[in-house]
Amino acid sequence: MTVATIRGRELHVDAEGFLTDSTEWDENLAETLADNIGLELTGRHWAAVRFARSDFAANAESPTLRRMATAGGVPTKEMFELFPKKPAKKLAYVAGLPKPVGCV
């Protein structure tokens, strides 16, 4: 496990920079993580992030694109608009969750 310093805080991350302890996450950190990948969070981003975190708490895994569309109410096309190119992976990163299963 690697430790990274972000916003003056030491955080546990994996080799790709995903938090390994989701309890270290907060909304201020999300803003910084989003900025790291060139995103400015809007209300729709926050809705996706909050759903992803609650879904993770219930299911112990990061939601897939399909889950975001069916249970989270964020259509796949919109996910690609909000989190371009690799939406599930970028959402998990910003939400402080592990990389979704199946993401490369």
Query: Domain map of the chain by residue range?
Result: 2-95
Distance of CA 1 to the CA centre of its chain: 19
Q: Mean pLDDT over residues 71-86, rounded? A: 95
At 35 the pLDDT is: 95
d(CA 21, CA 63): 16
Q: How confident is the model at residue 77 (pLDDT cuts 50, 70, 90)?
A: very high
Among this protein's residues, is 103 annotated catalytic? yes
At 9, phi and psi to the nearest 5? -115, 140
Residues 33-76: pLDDT tens digits? Answer: 999 999 999 999 999 999 999 999 999 999 999 999 999 999 99
Catalytic site residue from 37, 41, 47, 103: 103
Residues 22 and 102: their CA atoms lie apart, in Å, by 19
Residue 20 predicted with pLDDT over 80: yes
The Cα 5–Cα 13 span in angstroms is 10
Instruction: Answer yes or no: is pLDDT of 104 > 60.
Output: no
